């Protein structure tokens, strides 16, 4: 009988190409032993970290089930193990995979500055993920997207209790951070600015009409919704120099900022107002008419100096859709949102494997693209 042909992919040759993309200072075997991913060798065990990474990537981004991954490993000569044994190894590899992700992020090349005196423009956002059978958020992926390099500069995974905050945006850097309204928290913004030296950080954050406690230059309360309700017809943009309360009654602190408001086009205003009506109908709660007024405006808070025109700040904020596209690619192409796991460790090993492939893919794209998409 003729020998059955092996149709498995040449795993070791492919891994050699992947391994060249890893940071040169990353010792996979040492990391695996330190994190407990590899404990001791047996005849049927996975004895080296490179093999463990291959199995993890085949199981997660490779789209294989546990049984399919075990069969692939056998046919490819990678490892001899059962599906149950593979599952146990993946469960104890979470810290190992998180360490690889950390090294990949730390070793990323600095993107070219694209705005304002050589500072990088970063976009912060979060994306929700759910386990099988769940009706809500089980995991939240926090990301910071670097417009200059066209890739992620920071990634973090939390459970559903991990709120979106600029304090998750990585170490201080020479940057301008753009974020949506979930990041409009005065105390977090104040602490985020305090982490850096003067002038190294600034933010552009969209705000809701009651997100911040605002005061004018004389210390009087400032009502944003009244300003929007009395908006003069034909006015394209208005700006105010204000202070947001960022402390407590016992320890008051202020956050100086510029507040910029721009009316939305009629079609976008209609879309935003219809969303509010649907949300109120679904929750069986009355809709505040002030929210309908605010839905017709784009309101931004920024710490940028006054020599940068407000219209330019509004234009830059509209680049925020780049991170939304990045999350969409992560879900539609890498399928990170199709979690097959129900345990915490199993889900984290699945998610970290996808993020590792994401960063490696972005590095490859930098080699062939003259500019980021």
Task: List the chain domain ranges.
Answer: 12-19+26-105+339-368, 113-122+174-324
Other Cβ atoms less than 10 A from the Cβ of 219: the count is 8
What are the pLDDT digits (tens) for 52-97? 999 999 998 988 999 999 999 999 888 899 999 999 999 999 999 9
Other Cβ atoms less than 10 A from the Cβ of 234: the count is 6
Residue 364 token pair: 């490859």
| pTM (predicted TM-score) | 0.89
Residues of the chain whose pLDDT is less than 50?
A: 1-12, 43-44, 111
**DSSP H or E segment with residue 255:** strand 254-263
Residues in the chain: 373
In this prediction, residue 9 carries a pLDDT of 40
* 175-179 β-sheet, strand order: 151-159, 139-146, 120-129, 175-179, 201-206, 297-302, 254-263, 238-245, 214-215
Nearest to residue 157, comparing CAs of 310, 292, 336?
336
Query: What span, in angstroms and rounded, lies between the C-alpha atoms of 362 and 206?
Result: 28
User: What one-character DSSP code corresponds to residue 204?
Assistant: E
In this prediction, residue 340 carries a pLDDT of 93
User: What one-character DSSP code corresponds to residue 181?
Assistant: G
Angle between helices 49-59 and 11-19 (to 10 degrees): 100
Query: What span, in angstroms and rounded, lies between the C-alpha atoms of 350 and 242?
Result: 45
Please check whether residue 95 is in contact with residue 49, taking contact to mean a CB–CB distance below 8 angstroms. no
Nearest to residue 319, comparing CAs of 148, 183, 188?
148
What are the pLDDT digits (tens) for 264-285? 999 999 999 999 999 899 888 8
Nearest to residue 255, comparing CAs of 175, 191, 207?
191
Query: What span, in angstroms and rounded, lies between the C-alpha atoms of 22 and 17?
Result: 10
Q: Which residues contact 195 (CB under 8 A, 6 or more apart)?
A: 172, 201
């Amino acid at each position: 009988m003729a020998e059955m042909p092996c149709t498995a992919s040449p795993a070791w040759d492919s891994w050699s190409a992947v391994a060249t993309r890893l940071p040169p200072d990353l010792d996979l075997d040492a990391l695996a032993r330190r994190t407990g991913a590899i404990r001791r060798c047996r005849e049927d065990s996975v004895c080296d970290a490179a093999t463990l990474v291959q199995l993890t990537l085949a199981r997660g981004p490779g789209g294989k089930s546990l049984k399919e991954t075990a069969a692939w490993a056998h046919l490819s000569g990678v490892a001899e193990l059962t599906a149950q044994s593979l599952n146990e190894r993946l469960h104890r590899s979470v810290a190992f995979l998180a360490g690889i992700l950390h090294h990949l992020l730390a070793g990323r090349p600095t993107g070219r500055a694209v705005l304002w005196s050589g500072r990088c423009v970063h976009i912060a956002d979060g994306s929700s993920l759910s386990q099988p059978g769940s009706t809500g958020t089980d995991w939240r992926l926090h990301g910071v997207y670097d417009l200059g390099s066209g890739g992620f500069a920071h990634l973090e995974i939390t459970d559903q209790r991990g709120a979106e905050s600029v304090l998750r945006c990585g170490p201080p850097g020479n940057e301008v951070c753009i974020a949506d309204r979930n990041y409009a928290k005065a105390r977090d913004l104040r602490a985020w600015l305090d982490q850096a030296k003067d002038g190294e950080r600034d933010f552009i954050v969209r705000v809701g009409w009651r997100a911040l406690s605002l005061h004018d230059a004389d210390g009087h309360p400032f009502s944003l919704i009244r300003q929007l309700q009395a908006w003069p017809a034909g006015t394209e943009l208005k700006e105010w120099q204000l202070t947001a309360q960022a402390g407590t009654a016992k320890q008051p602190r202020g956050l100086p900022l510029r507040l910029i408001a721009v009316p939305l086009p009629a079609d976008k205003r209609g879309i935003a107002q219809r969303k509010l009506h649907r949300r109120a109908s679904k929750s069986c709660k009355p809709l505040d008419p002030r929210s309908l007024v605010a839905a017709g405006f784009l309101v931004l808070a920024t710490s940028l100096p006054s020599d940068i025109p407000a219209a330019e700040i509004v234009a830059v904020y509209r680049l925020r859709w780049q991170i939304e596209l990045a999350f969409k690619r992560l879900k539609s192409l890498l399928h990170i949102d199709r979690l097959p796991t129900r345990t915490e460790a199993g889900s984290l090993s699945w998610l970290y494997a996808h993020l590792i492939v994401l960063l490696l893919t972005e590095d490859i794209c930098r080699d062939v693209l003259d500019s980021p998409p």
